[in-house]
């Protein structure tokens, strides 16, 4: 992936994409500081600040994506 592709992926991505790319590997303390410094981060996802450790679980992140898709009307349920 070249720099331009990386840039557009970053710009078009949402908070969960950013978390997976940049924030997931921070220590617990660094993540808590990051969330404290960026209170709107992940605000479109139903997760409490005291449960951010759950974001490290790939299954949990998948569930959050499905919830966001459902609530955003992207998914058609028949």
Q: What is the overall mean pLDDT for the chain?
A: 83
Q: Is the pLDDT of residue 76 over 70?
A: no
Residue of 14 and 73 predicted with greater confidence: 14
Confidence of residue 60 (pLDDT cuts 50, 70, 90): very high
DSSP codes of every residue in the chain: --HHHHHHHHHH--HHHHIIIIITTS-HHHHHHHHHH-TTTTTTS---GGGGGGGG-HHHHHHHHHHHHHHTT-SPP-
Percent of the chain with pLDDT over 70: 86
């Amino acid at each position: 992936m070249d720099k331009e592709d990386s840039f557009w992926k970053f710009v078009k991505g949402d908070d969960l994409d950013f978390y997976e790319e940049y924030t997931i590997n921070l220590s617990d303390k660094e993540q808590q500081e990051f969330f404290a410094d960026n209170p709107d981060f992940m605000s479109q996802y139903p997760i409490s600040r005291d449960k951010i450790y759950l974001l490290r679980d790939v299954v949990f992140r998948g569930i959050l994506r499905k919830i966001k898709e459902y609530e955003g009307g992207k998914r058609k349920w028949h």
